[in-house]
Amino acid sequence: MNMLHDRVVRLIEDVPGVRRKVENESRLVEDLGFDSIKMVELMGAIEDEFNLIITLDDATSISTVADLKSMVQEAMQAQGVS
């Protein structure tokens, strides 16, 4: 789980223009300054990092970093990625 956390946080921090410290309860839009364009960047990075697909609906349902981690975990299970 910690490894997942670190990988997700690194991907968030790598998105250009992301501000403030990334924490579990950080909200992507309100706290970290994500907009739809940065979300596309992040989802693309998550997809490639974890070999997943993330749908637009999944992406728009994410509010916090914790939500994103949960979504990645669920997607890994649903899509049979270890």
Among 3, 16, 78, 82, binds other proteins (CB under 8 A): 16
35 is catalytic: yes
Candidate list 13, 14, 24, 56; residue touching other proteins; CB under 8 A:
56
Q: Residue by residue, what is the 3-state secondary structure of 26-82?
A: CECCCCCCCCHHHHHHHHHHHHHHHCCCCCHHHHHCCCEHHHHHHHHHHHHHHCCCC
Q: Is 13 in the site for other proteins (CB under 8 A)?
A: no
49 binds other proteins (CB under 8 A): no
CB of 75 vs other proteins, minimal distance in Å: 11
